[in-house]
Amino acid sequence: MALYDVAKTAAVRRPDAPSSVNRSTFGRHQRKRPRAALGIAGTMFVLMGVAIGVLTLRFILVFAHSLLS
């Protein structure tokens, strides 16, 4: 198996070289994290809604069964 030395092969950037990452790219990258957090929160709300719906349906079925028995 060949060993790959990242430190030796990494490109050395000069301090006066123009940056390939500008502020707009950096700004877009940071906005993705809150969207992911909102996605997780949205998923949790949907799952809680499904759970509440299942419990409500179960309550209605048990209540109807007790009235019919």
Reported as a single tens digit per residue, the pLDDT across 24-54 is 555 555 555 677 888 999 999 999 999 999 9
- Dig out the tokens for 3 from the structure: 């060993």
pTM: 0.48
Domain ranges of the chain: 43-69
Give dist(CA 47, CA 53) in Å, integer.
Answer: 10
Residue with tokens 């109807």: 64
Give the CA radius of gyration of the chain: 28
User: What CA–CA distance (Å, rounded) separates 14 from 32?
Assistant: 30
